[in-house]
Amino acid sequence: MFSRILVSGLFAGFAAGLIAALLQLAFVQPILLHAELYESGQLTHFGGAKASTAAAAGGIDLVRDGLSILFTTLIYTGYALILVAAMALAEHRGVRIAVRQGLLWGLAGFVSVQFAPAVGLPPELPGSAAAEMGLRQAWWFGTVGATAAGIALIAFGKGWTARAIAAVLILAPHVIGAPHPEAFAGPVPPELAGMFAGRALGVGLVAWVLLGLFAAWFWIREGERAEDTPRTA
């Protein structure tokens, strides 16, 4: 069982992480590089020199890109191992795992890890005003855990009691509220920040959907391979 989880998670995470990294390089990093020009003072909001996003992205550092691809694949491999372990637990409890259902597992992961936290703490560009890091991390982890638990209760719980608890768990972090600075300020235009948040979430959605599909496919494939492997006495 452990080897099945490990192999499925590694392959699914690497495949989804590599695609996510390439999408980030194509759609997210140009905005990030453009924003860094405002943070460094080369560009100023509401005036100063003009530069296009394409021009800002022209001097991409290959080392930076390589590290970005590496860390993205590692992160999604970690997500995949957690996702496959959850699939294994669900299958052990009698839930049938199919490749098409991997889409729902991926959507659940996206909502838990990216969408729900982004409601309170959207993806931020460099130079954006933000609350203390420790407070934001605590709220983020709490939101991810509560949302994941709530979705699990909706999917596998029975009765209205489970659904009511799920609703409380999902809503609680947002009722408490994410930590924010006393005032919002920064050198980056809000239009650029909005585009960055939208693209980051869009790439995350595609990556998580693919991650769920890959995880389910590899999980099923490794299970069939284990059944076909002859056992020695």
Q: Which of 100, 95, 208 is nearest to 155 (CA)?
A: 95
For 146, other C-beta atoms within 10 Å of its C-beta total 21
* Cβ–Cβ under 8 Å, residues 167 and 150: yes
Residue 190 is predicted with a pLDDT of 85
pTM here?
A: 0.87
Contact yes or no for 97/83 (Cβ under 8 A): no
pLDDT at 231: 53
**Which tokens hold the place of 3?**
């080897």
Looking at residue 127, its pLDDT comes to: 75
Mean pLDDT by 10-residue block, N- to C-terminus, for the chain (233 residues)?
92 97 95 83 59 45 88 97 95 90 96 97 86 94 97 93 96 96 81 93 98 96 78 48
Closest CA to 72 of 134, 26, 116: 26
Residue with tokens 């492997």: 229
